[in-house]
Amino acid sequence: GQNIDQPTEMTATEGAIVQINCTYQTSGFNGLFWYQQHAGEAPTFLSYNVLDGLEEKGRFSSFLSRSKGYSYLLLKELQMKDSASYLCAPMDSNYQLIWGAGTKLIIKP
């Protein structure tokens, strides 16, 4: 079956760094997406990894290891507005995104 495993909730301090881990199992693989979703809003695209390694985009970086079925999202210089849910969504062989429940990130001052 297809499965995604992320921590349910994480707490971090403003200005700090946090890493959100994701392990996945899919039928085939065509890359992995990270989305941010604020409460009551639709997801917004953060990153897409299809090859192994680290992709850096400003304060956010995403890492992928296909052999381990593992990805992480790294958020630096945390701001209060980063409080949101972060969704790891691998794409299967049918180019279908597989969604988990996401990680709720709480930023404290």
Partner 1 sequence: GAVVSQHPSWVICKSGTSVKIECRSLDFQATTMFWYRQFPKQSLMLMATSNEGSKATYEQGVEKDKFLINHASLTLSTLTVTSAHPEDSSFYICSARAGRVGIHEQYFGPGTRLTVT
Where on the chain is the footprint of partner 1 (CB under 8 A)? Answer: 30-31, 33, 35, 40-45, 48, 87, 91, 95-97, 99-102
Pairwise CA distance, residues 109 & 98, whole Å: 33
Pairwise CA distance, residues 22 & 7, whole Å: 8
- Cβ neighbours around 96 below 10 Å, total: 15
φ/ψ of 50, rounded to 5, equals: -120, -25
Minimum CB separation of residue 2 from partner 1 in Å reads 12
Minimum CB separation of residue 16 from partner 1 in Å reads 25
Minimum CB separation of residue 17 from partner 1 in Å reads 26
Task: Choose between 42 and 80: whose C-beta lies nearer to partner 1.
Answer: 42
